[in-house]
Structure 1
Amino acid sequence: MKRIVILIGWMLLASGVAAQSWSLDDCMKYAVGHATDVKRETINARQRKQDYHHAVAAFLPTVSGGVQGQYAWGRNIDPETNTYNNVTTFNNYYQLYAELNVFDGFATINAFRQARLSRDYSATAMQKVQDNIAIDVMQKYVDAAYAEASIRIASEKLDESRRMLAKTKRQYELGEKGRPDVVQMESQVAEDEYCLTHQQNMARQSLLALKSAMNYPVGDELKLDIMSKDKEESLSSCPLTAEDKRNSENIYQSFLNLSPDVRSAEYEVERARYDYKIAKGRLLPSLSLTGGVTTNYYKNLSLKGQYDGFASQFRNNRGEYLALTLSIPIYNSDRWHSVKKARNDWQLAQVNLEEARRKLHDQIAQAVMDAEGYAKELRQMQKKVASDSLAYHMSSRKFEEGMLSTFDLHTSAQTLLESRIKQLQMQMLLVIKQRLVEYYKGEKLIR
């Protein structure tokens, strides 16, 4: 009984989630929380942290130990008399040693700095992934909302055409209209039905693209909140100040240090620079210090003699050593190739950084220009829709009174439809551009 109650509760919760209306921010939050790119970047951040710990451990000495057991038979050397004999012996060696890297051309230090840089970059990399996902979902959401709103416009147009067709048929029965007028209106209804079916197909495709971008279950319902509060506020006023309209340079300068793309390019430059330093360091001599303790146990199996026990030999045969090794690379083509390749990669990263900065500058200028332009176009289209709506109303009245042909009525209806679609398109484009401008001005994409 308890399991049934829990199952019913989960079903009710799932149905409530499916029935809710999803705003733009809801979709972006869901996408960021369920995107595979975010999960992948989380693993990458954990790996960068592990690489940092590994770089820190490189400053510590390495400690190793070894045990060797050896049976020898035939001609060999007696370790006690240092003469050749033909016997079977058993040798058991023990060794414990440590090695410390004293100098390696600053390769270890530079590797540590590079690992620390990568660890600190994790937050920027995560922000970059989240922003890219949010922008992609925002575009897909606007496309899906535009397609769904187009269905409403096409449905209203179809209802109006059916109403006019019914009235035309009635006037035809009364002798006020001719058969060509009825046929023309039937053609108009068929055209509007096709437009509605086409818009429904486009809406399904757009919604599927949005679910894919969100990593949302394809089979679950996703109801969009087209007239959400954030959209109404974004359409009611333009967020651009007078200074922003005159010059987008101030937005670029303030966002330059916040841009994840630019900071990612700067990280690549620093990482490549450390790679270059590490490669150059491998051309320098290296110095290492090694110390250890060794001991062994020996027994002649061919002769029955008295030998010291294992504990006695293990203690008496113990020896210590300390070694300082200097390695001087004279010629190594692989190391020289690595230096040249690392230098080229560093220079290429610098070029990519300049490109990222220039691309950001152009994107901000384009977003500011588009937001201002779409706001002006939207105001003009609102006036045009009002005029076309009035013109269609007058045309329909003239058509009903027999003062206007069916063709002219069709032209007026199509003009109104195109104006409403164009107005809707301007609204959706303005939503995207305003959110982008606000993002470039330092506000978060996901609120």
Structure 2
Amino acid sequence: MKRTLIILLAFAAAHVGKSAGQTPWTMQQCMQYAVKHNHEVKRTELELDNRKADKTAAIGNFLPSVGASVGAQYNFGRAINPETNGYTDVSTFYNEYSLYASLPVFDGFSRLHALKAAEASRLMGHQALRQQQNETALSVLQAFTSVAYYEGLVKMAAEKVAETELLLKQTQILEEVGRKSHTDVALVESQKAEADYELTRQQSLYESALLELKKEMAFPVADSLLLDVQTTKTDEAVLSGIMLNDEEHAALQQARYKITASKHEWRQARASLMPTLSVGAGIGTTYYKTLHAANTAAFSSQFKNNMGEYVGFTLSIPLFSRLQSAMGIRRAKNNYKMACEAYEQKHLELEKLSREAWQDWQGYIKQTMQMEKKVEADSLAYQLTRRQFEEGLSTAIDLHTTSAELLKSKATLLQCRLMTMVKEQLVKYYRGETIWTEQ
């Protein structure tokens, strides 16, 4: 019994003592932490910011392009005199200043479709972020369930160790009074060793599951994590309603926005066949000086007198681009069709998975009710067999068989309860509901 107490105290110290002062984490808190700190979620947030930048750049294409330039030039030897437009062989200095602007007036609506494609891409990024958050929450849910399962098995194994140790002492006392044989004592000792082994194995599996949960949460592995494991009741509102919500599921919305973006990219590619019209305007001035000349006009007077302005229109008509435009349109059209096929495939896949989740959920609800009855029956059978063993009416093998069956039933019941909770969250996920709440 002392050894059993030491094992139980060691397990408690590992999960309570070193977590002193730490509030136990619920499943929702674990999912919230993971969504906030997960590296894939952060990467998706940065991708969304890039999509927002692309939309801002698309808006900027509707604004005029403005620039300025300054140039200076020294001429040595034979050159053209800008004052007389004749040749000269003296050294001169030439300085120019210009300010110009241009604006596309018509480009076949290419900029408009580029803006609409960027907006669809931005919305697709929002849904991609939401989808990544949901997938992270689901991964944490699975890992949290595994930890809860193995924690329950550790408790069951510890109880089994305590029971077998007490049974061993009782059998040894009965052997001393002649009611049990040495063979019975050896069989119970074997059961005790088996219980110790099972407890050690379940503790190892529990620690591995806890490490996996920390990894999914992006939680510091060296820090302690105390969990508040509670099985929730079935939400009656989820028992009825649709299995897959096309309008709310993030993955389907993401695929739908991909279709919209591809459609506008296709139209943008077709706009390359249209003529483009742009307007430009500018203002400029110059300064000229013959080096070593005494009668050069002042810089201020030349800057004012040489000032000039211009306004111009440019019409560009594409005639032949070595099939680049045609092939670009072809690729854009294929991308649009591929996006449509991807949406249909994703819809079919999610519809199948949603129905599977619904069926599994219903199955686990029924299995849980059945296993509750089985655990009750196996518990009664174990108590009767143990009493018969104490009275010499059954063997240690019979006791071991009923004990193992009871432990197996308890483990299966725990698994069914936890899987019922997981499948319920999956059903909500496929309906487009948020399975985690923001802080």
Same fold (TM over 0.5): yes
From 50, 54, 58, the equivalent of 1:51 is 54
From 20, 23, 30, the equivalent of 2:23 is 20
Aligned counterpart, 2:222: 219
Task: Establish whether residue 325 from structure 1 lines up as the match of residue 299 from structure 2.
Answer: no
Aligned counterpart, 1:111: 114
SS across alignment from 2:223: coil
Q: CA deviation at 1:240?
A: 5.0
The answer to whether the 8 Å contact 2:34/2:136 transfers is: yes
The answer to whether the 8 Å contact 1:251/1:440 transfers is: yes
* Aligned equivalents of 2:141, 2:304: Cα separation in 1: 75
SS across alignment from 1:223: coil
The answer to whether the 8 Å contact 1:28/1:446 transfers is: yes
* Aligned equivalents of 2:404, 2:110: Cα separation in 1: 72
* Aligned equivalents of 2:72, 2:431: Cα separation in 1: 72
From 404, 411, 418, the equivalent of 1:428 is 418
* Aligned equivalents of 1:384, 1:359: Cα separation in 2: 36
* Paired letter, 2:302: Q
Task: Establish whether residue 171 from structure 1 lines up as the match of residue 174 from structure 2.
Answer: yes
The answer to whether the 8 Å contact 2:58/2:111 transfers is: yes
Q: CA deviation at 1:223?
A: 1.4
Segment drifting more, 393-402 vs 39-48: 39-48
Segment drifting more, 285-294 vs 49-58: 49-58
Task: Establish whether residue 29 from structure 1 lines up as the match of residue 42 from structure 2.
Answer: no
| Cα displacement string for residues 162-194 of structure 1 (whole angstroms, at most 9, x for unaligned residues) | 111111122222222222222221111111111
* Paired letter, 1:137: V
Q: Where do 1:34-433 residues align within 5 Å?
A: 34-226=37-229, 228=230, 231-234=231-234, 240-241=238-239, 244=240, 250-252=242-244, 255-301=245-291, 304-329=293-318, 330-433=320-423
Distance 1:17 1:318, change over 3 A: farther
Q: CA deviation at 1:92?
A: 0.5
Segment drifting more, 313-322 vs 137-146: 313-322
| Cα displacement string for residues 393-414 of structure 1 (whole angstroms, at most 9, x for unaligned residues) | 1111121222222222211111
| Cα displacement string for residues 354-399 of structure 1 (whole angstroms, at most 9, x for unaligned residues) | 1121122112211211111111111111111111111111111121
The answer to whether the 8 Å contact 1:239/1:438 transfers is: no
Aligned counterpart, 2:14: none
* Aligned equivalents of 1:171, 1:89: Cα separation in 2: 124
* Paired letter, 1:444: T
* Paired letter, 1:78: N
The answer to whether the 8 Å contact 1:18/1:222 transfers is: no
* Aligned equivalents of 1:59, 1:438: Cα separation in 2: 43
Segment drifting more, 287-296 vs 140-149: 287-296
* Paired letter, 2:394: L
The answer to whether the 8 Å contact 1:287/1:324 transfers is: yes
Distance 1:120 1:264, change over 3 A: closer
Q: CA deviation at 1:238?
A: 5.7
Distance 1:130 1:438, change over 3 A: same
SS across alignment from 1:219: coil
Distance 1:289 1:232, change over 3 A: closer
SS across alignment from 1:331: coil
Could you state the TM-score of these two structures normalised by the residue count of structure 2? 0.90
* Consecutive unaligned residues in structure 1, runs of 5 or more: 1-14
Segment drifting more, 139-148 vs 42-51: 42-51
Segment drifting more, 122-131 vs 344-353: 122-131
* Aligned equivalents of 1:199, 1:43: Cα separation in 2: 41
Distance 1:73 1:426, change over 3 A: same
Could you state the TM-score of these two structures normalised by the residue count of structure 1? 0.88
Q: CA deviation at 1:307?
A: 1.9
* Identity of matched residues, %: 37
* Aligned equivalents of 1:86, 1:62: Cα separation in 2: 40
Q: CA deviation at 1:442?
A: 5.6
* Paired letter, 1:133: T
The answer to whether the 8 Å contact 1:239/1:434 transfers is: no
* Aligned equivalents of 1:389, 1:110: Cα separation in 2: 70
SS across alignment from 2:221: coil
The answer to whether the 8 Å contact 1:78/1:85 transfers is: yes
* Paired letter, 1:412: T
* Aligned equivalents of 1:262, 1:441: Cα separation in 2: 11
* Aligned equivalents of 2:285, 2:331: Cα separation in 1: 47
Q: CA deviation at 1:439?
A: 4.1
Distance 1:53 1:239, change over 3 A: closer
How many residue pairs match? The answer is 419
SS across alignment from 1:271: helix
* Paired letter, 2:67: S
* Aligned equivalents of 1:117, 1:444: Cα separation in 2: 22
